[in-house]
Amino acid sequence: MAQESETPLLAVRDLRTWFHTFSGVVKAVNGVSFEIGEGEVMGLVGESGGGKSVIGFSVLGLIDSPGRIEGGEILFDGEDLAQAGEERLRHIRGRHISMVFQDPMTSLNPLHTVGRQMDEVLRLHTDLGAAERRKACIDMLESVGISRAAERLKAYPHQFSGGMRQRVVIAIALLAGPRLIIADEPTTALDVTIQSQILKLMRRQIAEKGASMILITHDLAVVSEMADHITVLYCGKVVERGRTRDLIESPAHPYTRGLIDSIPDPAARHDRLRQIPGSVPDIRALPKGCNFRERCPRAQALCAETEPDLTKQHRSLWAACHFPLVPGDVQ
Amino acid sequence: MAVTSVLRSEFFHNYRHSASAIIGSGLMALFAFAVIAGPFLVAQNPYDIAALDLMDSYKPPVWLEGGDPRYWLGTDGQGRDVWASILYGARISVFIGVVAMLASCALGTLLGLVAGFYGGIVDSVIMRIADIQLSFPSILIALFLMSAVGTGVDKVLIALTAVGWVVYARTVRGSTLSEIEKEYVQAARVAGLPNRKIIRKHVLPNVLTPLIVIATIQVGTFVLIEASLSFLGVGVPITQPSLGLLIKNGFDVLFSGLWWTSVFPGVAIMMLVFGINLFGDFLRDELNPRLK
C-alpha cells in the first residue's frame, strides 16, 4: 500500500455499508479500504451514487436504517468506530471528526443565530465559560474571513450570502479543534468565483490546525488542487488510488481517465464535451466481472468473467483493472 | 423601536385591512375581557344560593313587559341573572377550550415529533392510532370516554385531549419528516448533539408555525364539543355550568315561551366561536406561504 505515515489517523479496511431496501440490497459501499495520515488531504472521487457520501456517514456512525455497516474496520487513531457505541460516537462527532456539508443554504438552522449555533458546539464539547466561548467563536469567524465577527454572531443565516454561510459552516466544523474533517461536496453549491476562495480557505485552515481532511467530490479539478491523495470510487468499490500528481497525470484505470477527460478544457475547444458513455449500472444487480466493463473502451472477454483486484501499477498508483493504462498510452 | 417595527410589518398592515381579522380578534378580546373581569361586572354571584331570590324567577329581559331593570337579560327558574350566568359560564367554556387545546397541542406535538424523527414501528403505531381515531366523529369518542370516566371539568379536559391530539400529531409528523431531511439536522447530528436536543432545539421550533392556526380554530371546536357534551348531560357538573349547560337548563322551558334562558347563552357561544374562526382564517391566510 502507498502509505505515507507510520500510524495513519484514519484507516478504513474493507468497509461494507449496505442498504436493505424493499427492491433489494444496495451495496453502496462494498469493500472499501483507504488510509489518511495526520495533516493529509484525501480526495474521494466518483460519480453520483458511487457511495462517496455513505463512506463519510459511515465513519461518523450516522448510517440510518435500512442502512447498516455490514463489516470492515474504521480505525480512527487505533479505535474501531464501527464497533463503538452511540455514546462514544457522539463524543467523537463534532469534537474529533466534523463535517462540512454541500449546501450552506440548508445546513444552518434558519431559526437560530449564527452565534447560538456556534456556541452549541463549544458547550457540548468543551468546558469553556460563556465569555471564553464567545471569544473563541469571534476568533474563529475572523479566521475564516468574516469581518465584524462580534456583530455577525447576532445575525441569522439568511442575512449571509452563500459563500459567507459556507465560511460559517467551516468555522463551526473547525470550532472544537477536530483532527479529521469530512467535507462533502463543500463547493458544489457555490458560485464558481467563490469556490476557489473557499477551497483556499479550507486548505489554509487545515494546514494551520494540523487537521486531516476527506474531500468528497465529483469534481476532479477541485481535488487536484487540494488533495495529497485521491481515491476513485465506482459502484461502491475503490477502482484506483494514488498520489494526486501521478493519478492526474497518467491514471491507470480507464474510468479515472474518463473522469479526467470530461473536465472541460477551455483551451482545447472540442466541438463537444467529452463524456464517459453509458451510465452507472443498477447497484442492486451488478453484472458479473468488472463493474465498469460496459462503459469501458478497453474491455475484453476477461473483464466479463472475473472482477479485477486492486493491484500495484506504475508510480504510486493502485488500480483495479485487467488492462490498465501505462504512461504514454493514448486512448 | 419594537413597537414601530410591529406597526410597520406586513402582518399588521394586512390585519388592519382585513375586516374578518378585526371583527374576529375584537370578539376574542371581548370574551377575554369578560372571562377575566366577569365577576366584577355583575352584582349577583349566580352560584351563591344566598344571593338568589326565588321571587325573581323567570323574569323576562328588561325590554319585555314585566322585565326587571336589575336583570337586563332576564332570569332563570331559580331567579338567577342570565347575564351573570353567561359571564360565569363563558369562563368555564373558555377555560376548558384553552386548556384542552394546550394539552392536545403538547401531547400531539410530542407524539408527532417522536413518530417523525424515529420512524419505524413507533411511527406506525402512533399514526395508526391516529388514523383509527380520525375515522370516528370526535363527539362520539368524547361521548364514549365521558360515559366511561364520568363527568366533571377534568374529565371533559381528558376527553377533549384524547380527541384533539391527532391533528397536531399528523401535522407535526409531516413537517418533522421534511425538516430532518435538511442538512442542518444532519449537521447537528454530526456535531454530536444527542437526539433529544436535536428534536427540542432544531426540529421543534421549525414545525410550530402551522400549529398556531390549528390551535386557534381548535379552541372554538372544543367550546362547541364541550357545549354538546354538557347539553347531552355528560359534560360539566351543575355546580360549574358552562354555556352549554346553560342552554340545556333553559331548553326544558324553551317552548313554554321562556326562551331567554337558553337563547342568550346560545348567542354567546355563537359569537365566541365565530370570532375565533374568523381570526383563525385570517391567521391561516397570513401564515401559509402558498396562499400568498
Q: Domain with B191 in it: what CATH number?
A: 1.10.3720.10
Q: What are phi and psi of A39, to 5 degrees?
A: 75, 5
Cell numbers at residue A270, please?
A: 472540442
pLDDT at B186: 87
Q: Could A110 and B187 be called an inter-chain contact, meaning their C-beta atoms sit closer than 8 Å?
A: no
Closest CA to A247 of A44, A7, A53, A47: A44
Residues ≥6 apart with Cβ < 8 Å to A113: A153, A154, A155, A156
- For chain B, list residues whose CB is within 8 angstroms of any CB belonging to chain A: 119-120, 182-184, 186-194, 201-202, 205-206
Size of interface A-B (CB pairs under 8 A): 64
Peptide bond between residue A66 and the one before it cis (omega within 30 degrees of 0): yes
A79 bridge partner residues: A76
Where does the pLDDT of residue B267 fall: very low under 50, low under 70, confident under 90, or very high at 90 and above? very high
Interval A48-68 mean pLDDT: 86
pLDDT at B114: 95
Within a domain: residue A139?
yes
Q: Could B206 and A65 be called an inter-chain contact, meaning their C-beta atoms sit closer than 8 Å?
A: no
Interval A130-134 mean pLDDT: 94
ipTM over 0.85: no
pLDDT at A6: 66
Within a domain: residue A243?
no
Within a domain: residue A248?
no
Provide the CATH number for the domain around residue A218: 3.40.50.300
Longest dimension (CA), chain B: 78
* pLDDT at residue A3 greater than cutoff 60: no
Q: Which one of A42-51, B17-26, B34-43, B250-259 scores highest in mean pLDDT?
A: B17-26
Region class of A280: left (phi > 0), else alpha (psi between -120 and 50), else beta: beta
Q: Could B187 and A108 be called an inter-chain contact, meaning their C-beta atoms sit closer than 8 Å?
A: yes
Within a domain: residue A328?
no
Amino acid at the residue A250: S
Q: What are phi and psi of B145, to 5 degrees?
A: -65, -45
* pLDDT at residue A331 greater than cutoff 80: no
- For chain A, list residues whose CB is within 8 angstroms of any CB belonging to chain B: 60, 62, 65, 90-95, 98-99, 101-103, 106-112, 120-121, 124-125, 169, 172
pLDDT at B2: 62
Are B176 and B162 in contact by the 8 Å Cβ rule? The answer is no
Within a domain: residue A273?
no
pLDDT at B182: 86
- Parent domain of A200: 10-234
pLDDT at B121: 92
pLDDT at B290: 60
Q: Which residues of chain B have a CB within 8 Å of the CB of A114?
A: none
pLDDT at A229: 94
Within a domain: residue A128?
yes
Closest CA to A324 of A34, A294, A249, A312: A312
Q: Could A98 and B190 be called an inter-chain contact, meaning their C-beta atoms sit closer than 8 Å?
A: yes
pLDDT at B172: 96
Cell numbers at residue B286, please?
A: 397570513
Domain count, chain A: 1
The CA radius of gyration of chain A, in Å to the nearest whole number, is: 21
Amino acid at the residue B104: S
Q: Which residues of chain B have a CB within 8 Å of the CB of A169?
A: 187
CA distance A139 to chain B (A): 19
Q: Which of B119, B192, B202 sits opposite A109 (nearest CB)?
A: B202
pLDDT at A118: 94
Residue-wise pLDDT tens digits, B130-168: 999 889 888 888 888 888 888 888 999 999 999 999 999
Within a domain: residue A2?
no
Closest CA to A47 of A243, A295, A248, A297: A295
Are A97 and A178 in contact by the 8 Å Cβ rule? The answer is yes
Q: Which residues of chain B have a CB within 8 Å of the CB of A109?
A: 184, 188, 202, 206
Judged by DSSP in three states, A62 sits in coil
Q: pLDDT averaged over chain B? A: 87
Interval A217-240 mean pLDDT: 90
Residue-by-residue DSSP string for chain B: -HHHHHHHSHHHHHHHT-HHHHHHHHHHHHHHHHHHHHHHH-S--TT-GGG--GGGTTPPPTTSTT--TT-TT-B-TT--BHHHHHHHHHHHHHHHHHHHHHHHHHHHHHHHHHHHHH-HHHHHHHHHHHHHHHTS-HHHHHHHHHHHH--SHHHHHHHHHHHHHHHHHHHHHHHHHHHHTSHHHHHHHHTT--HHHIIIIIIHHHH-HHHHHHHHHHHHHHHHHHHHHHHTTSSS-TTS--HHHHHHHHHTTGGGT-THHHHHHHHHHHHHHHHHHHHHHHHHHHH-GGG-
Q: Which residues of chain A have a CB within 8 Å of the CB of B205?
A: 111-112
CB atoms within 10 A of CB A142: 15
Q: Which residues of chain A have a CB within 8 Å of the CB of B202?
A: 109, 112
Amino acid at the residue B169: A
Where does the pLDDT of residue A2 fall: very low under 50, low under 70, confident under 90, or very high at 90 and above? very low
Cα-to-chain-centroid distance, residue A276: 22
Q: What are phi and psi of A27, to 5 degrees?
A: -90, 75
A21 bridge partner residues: A24
Angle at A243 between CA A239 and CA A245, to 5 degrees: 110
- The position carrying cell 325590554 is B63
Pairing of β A318-319 and β A237-243: antiparallel
Q: Which of B187, B192, B206 sits opposite A101 (nearest CB)?
A: B187
pLDDT at A64: 83
CA distance B136 to chain A (A): 33
Cα-to-chain-centroid distance, residue B78: 29
Within a domain: residue A324?
no
Q: Which of B184, B192, B202 sits opposite A125 (nearest CB)?
A: B192
* pLDDT at residue A231 greater than cutoff 90: yes
Are A176 and A95 in contact by the 8 Å Cβ rule? The answer is yes
- Parent domain of B28: 2-291
Q: Could B192 and A110 be called an inter-chain contact, meaning their C-beta atoms sit closer than 8 Å?
A: no
Residue-by-residue DSSP string for A282-302: PTTSPPSS-TTGGG-TT--HH
Are A61 and A51 in contact by the 8 Å Cβ rule? The answer is no
Interval B282-286 mean pLDDT: 86
Interval B59-73 mean pLDDT: 80
pLDDT at B100: 95
Cα-to-chain-centroid distance, residue B123: 28
Q: Which of B191, B201, B206 sits opposite A93 (nearest CB)?
A: B191
Domain count, chain B: 1
Residues ≥6 apart with Cβ < 8 Å to B35: B90, B91, B94, B95
Cα-to-chain-centroid distance, residue B164: 10
Q: What are phi and psi of A140, to 5 degrees?
A: -65, -45
